[in-house]
Structure 1
């Protein structure tokens, strides 16, 4: 199990959170893309190796959204490339 530090509630078990995907994923206009592109956006989640900035929702806690950097190879919460957490 991962422990995620909520900036509002402190360190909590990952079971309290819902993963919201990578930060910066731009939602395309469904009327401006093909059906294949829309289905790909809805069903394929990018999963690069290494540090990725992700959105997390503290669903079973304070209810706030926040972002963290997580290394997808180890699931460790890591510092951002610019040195912040």
Structure 2
């Protein structure tokens, strides 16, 4: 008899907890952070040639303006190339 009551109590507590957590999760509004600067770091290689073209023609800023995000600036840092590995004798 006591086990049955305890089982019912735990089940009700679990259902109530799930209901409260669902309400809390549903009530939270989705949030977005808006930034005015995009920073890109890349190395000099053929794979990053596309990044060079995007930066030279200011295509990222143009796409942001077309999407309604005025005032977006792009800054890029070209990282130095890694040294080739040396042979150990």
TM-score by length of 2: 0.24
Structure showing greater Rg: 2
The structure carrying a bigger helix percent of its residues is 2
The higher relative CO (CA closer than 8 Å, separation ≥ 6) is in 2
TM-score by length of 1: 0.25
